[in-house]
């Protein structure tokens, strides 16, 4: 029988976005995709397209200018989806916490499923985190997941959800963001 | 049916999120029939406010570790450049052994950074196998960094007054062995980059910059050396022993992507030679000296990061917190030259040209 769930388990596509990190975690993600650590043996591929991705790998403490992009990318991804925060500064703000242009941690904006600590997170940790996210993906439903901030409203185009209209801009809603 | 086509300006955005980019940067290309006629760039997506935090929140002893978090690829050059400035202000004496160990780590960092850039250029030119091969050969160098400092990317190795660790004879043997292997691999890559049709022919003449253009638009680092300009800060450094360990400036002619790749490859060979000289001729002595006092006065320090000249301006008023930390990063200085190179090229080549600059946006935006 055709079960999409089984196929998804063996071919996870990831979307990687740098929301203000120092590049350290990003090059470790790149090293994971290289031949030594070889994340691809689990069927994981890095695709730059949010509409085809199952997992958002996000690095960096979310700077003021990248928060709209983070929410936009998150809402463009179809459910079920998993968010993995890579690196200490992504989890809590780390060394950048309290700087004037930084939100402390990505979980103020979008719900995070797996937190990977470390500055920079080592490839072994990243592989563990991605596989943990893969386990969580099996239990996720197709219900729409809303970002914690910058959520506009669900808009429908015919009978489909129009994902273009979901994410808001800073200062657009009510000044709370 | 009319056969005349009118040239229409078309705007194509690249970024802020794109598969060929590691970091968020936005280029807006104005194109006419595939040819790029104008470029606008927006680099501020990763601005965090490190400079302000360094002169308000952190004490001068901590700042060395904070500025390392500006960039993961050239973390060691940032902390080295800052530490050299503070040591000048404090009149600190650093032992010869610590200087040698600092140079060793900076050069190992350069090797892995250049290899990452080369593999990224190959990937963006559509040569996935070469990308994988280079990434695989880069891992032993990362292993060396882990063996020496305890971490793969953010080392926190350089402190005010010296370095934090030293290595034993077994690790020294391992370093020599891995450097030998890497040298053989790199010699193979030089052969490949020069003769492989899908690399050399694809890159030759693409993204070219003339020496006059490089001079006029303030190109630095491998971008300028690929045009034949003798621009390397390592020539005149007084706080690191580059002359003793066998440093030579590498230059190429042509100024295109191919020349930039060749500069990087030959620089890796030169760095391997320097690392070997350092490990074999490591002086005896302590690695850490006690430093007292608080920074007083102004200082400017420079260092050659993998992407070009890095400059720090520090000002202290005899307090724990510095008055001003100003950082001038290599990629920021090369943006005018980048924009000049893009003009007149095909849009299809844009990702490969961009990767060949090896841009570091988290340095640029800080």
Indicate the pairing of strand A160-161 with strand A156-157.
Answer: antiparallel
B135 touches chain A (CB under 8 A): yes
B18 touches chain A (CB under 8 A): yes
Domain ranges, ordered by start, for chain A: 4-150
Please check whether residue B135 lies inside any domain of the structure: yes
CB contact under 8 A, B154 and A21: no
Return the half-sphere exposure (C-beta side, CA atoms, 13 A cut-off) of residue A34. 26
**Which candidate in B47, B78, B151 is best for mutational testing of the A interface (most A CBs within 10 A)?**
B47
Please check whether residue B72 lies inside any domain of the structure: yes
* Residue percentage of chain B with pLDDT more than 90: 2
**How far apart (Å, rounded) are the C-alpha atoms in residues B164 and B187?**
33
Condensed to tens digits (0 to 9), the pLDDT of residues B32-83 reads: 877 888 888 777 788 888 888 888 888 888 888 888 888 888 888 888 889 9
Mind telling me how many Å the CA of B79 is from chain A's nearest CA? 14
Domain of B356, in residue numbers = 9-365
B116 touches chain A (CB under 8 A): yes
Condensed to tens digits (0 to 9), the pLDDT of residues B158-187 reads: 888 888 888 888 888 989 999 999 999 899
Please check whether residue B1 lies inside any domain of the structure: no
Give me the interface pTM, i.e. the ipTM: 0.81
Cis peptide before A120 (omega within 30 of 0): yes
Condensed to tens digits (0 to 9), the pLDDT of residues B214-244 reads: 888 888 888 888 888 888 888 888 888 888 8
Among candidates B96, B141, B261, which has minimal Cα distance to B195? B261
Please check whether residue B351 lies inside any domain of the structure: yes
CATH of the domain at B213: 1.10.645.10
Domain count, chain B: 1
Indicate the pairing of strand B162-163 with strand B35-42.
Answer: unpaired
For residues B155 and B24, the model is more confident at B155
State how far the alpha carbon of B162 is from the alpha carbons of B271, B287, B290, B341, in Å. Answer: 21, 6, 9, 41
For residues B44 and B137, the model is more confident at B137
CB contact under 8 A, A18 and B53: no
C-alpha torsion sign, points A170, B29, B359, A29: positive
Please check whether residue B67 lies inside any domain of the structure: yes
Domain covering A4-150 in this structure, CATH number: 3.40.50.12280
Please check whether residue B3 lies inside any domain of the structure: no
Please check whether residue B2 lies inside any domain of the structure: no
Return the half-sphere exposure (C-beta side, CA atoms, 13 A cut-off) of residue A148. 9
DSSP code of residue B310 = E
pLDDT of residue B1: 46
Tokens read off for B317: 């008023």
Per-window interface: B 217-256 vs A, CB < 8 A? none
């Amino acid at each position: 029988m055709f079960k999409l769930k089984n196929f998804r388990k063996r071919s996870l596509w990831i979307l990687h976005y740098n929301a203000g990190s120092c590049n350290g975690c990003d090059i470790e993600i790149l090293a994971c995709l290289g031949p030594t650590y070889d994340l691809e043996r689990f069927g994981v591929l890095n695709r730059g397209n949010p509409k085809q991705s199952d997992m958002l790998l996000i690095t960096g403490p979310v700077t003021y200018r990248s928060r709209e992009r983070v929410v936009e990318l998150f809402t463009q991804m179809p459910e079920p989806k998993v968010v993995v925060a890579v690196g200490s500064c992504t989890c809590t703000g780390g060394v950048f916490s309290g700087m004037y242009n930084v939100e402390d941690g990505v979980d103020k904006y979008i719900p995070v499923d797996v937190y990977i600590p470390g500055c920079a997170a080592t490839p072994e940790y990243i592989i563990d985190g991605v596989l943990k996210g893969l386990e969580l993906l099996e239990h996720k439903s197709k219900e729409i997941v809303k970002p914690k901030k910058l959520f506009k409203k669900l808009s429908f185009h015919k009978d489909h959800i129009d994902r273009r209209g979901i994410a808001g801009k800073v200062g657009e809603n009510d000044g709370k963001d | 049916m009319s056969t005349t086509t009118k040239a229409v300006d078309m705007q194509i955005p690249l970024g802020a999120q794109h598969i060929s980019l590691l970091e968020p940067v936005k280029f807006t290309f104005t194109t006419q029939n595939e040819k790029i006629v104008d470029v606008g760039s927006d680099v501020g997506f990763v601005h965090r406010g490190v400079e302000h935090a360094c002169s308000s929140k952190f004490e001068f002893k901590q700042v060395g570790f904070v500025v390392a978090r500006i960039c993961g690829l050239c973390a060691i050059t940032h902390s080295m450049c800052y530490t050299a400035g503070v040591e000048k202000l404090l009149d600190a004496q650093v032992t010869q052994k610590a200087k040698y160990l600092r140079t060793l780590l900076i050069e190992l960092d350069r090797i892995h950074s250049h290899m990452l850039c080369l593999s990224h250029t190959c990937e963006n030119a559509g040569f996935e196998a070469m990308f994988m091969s280079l990434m695989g050969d880069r891992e032993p160098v990362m292993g060396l960094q882990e063996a020496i400092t305890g971490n793969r990317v953010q080392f926190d190795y350089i402190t005010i007054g010296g370095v934090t660790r030293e290595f034993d004879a077994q690790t020294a043997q391992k370093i020599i062995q891995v450097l030998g292997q890497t040298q053989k691999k790199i010699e193979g890559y030089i052969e490949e980059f020069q003769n492989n049709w899908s690399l050399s022919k694809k890159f030759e003449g693409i993204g070219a910059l003339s020496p006059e253009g490089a001079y006029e638009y303030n190109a630095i680092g491998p971008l300028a050396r690929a045009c034949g300009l003798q621009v390397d800060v390592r020539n005149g450094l007084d706080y690191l022993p580059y002359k003793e360990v066998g440093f030579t400036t590498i230059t190429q002619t042509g100024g295109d992507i191919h020349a930039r790749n060749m500069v990087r490859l030959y620089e890796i060979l030169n760095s391997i030679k320097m690392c070997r000289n350092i490990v074999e001729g490591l002086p005896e002595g302590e690695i850490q000296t006690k430093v007292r006092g608080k920074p007083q006065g102004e200082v400017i320090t420079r260092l050659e990061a993998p992407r070009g000249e890095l400059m720090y301006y520090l000002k202290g008023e005899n307090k724990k917190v510095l008055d001003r930390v100003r950082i001038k990063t290599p990629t920021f200085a090369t943006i005018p030259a980048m924009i000049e190179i893009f003009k007149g090229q095909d849009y299809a080549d844009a990702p490969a040209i961009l990767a060949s600059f090896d841009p570091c946006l988290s340095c640029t935006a800080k």
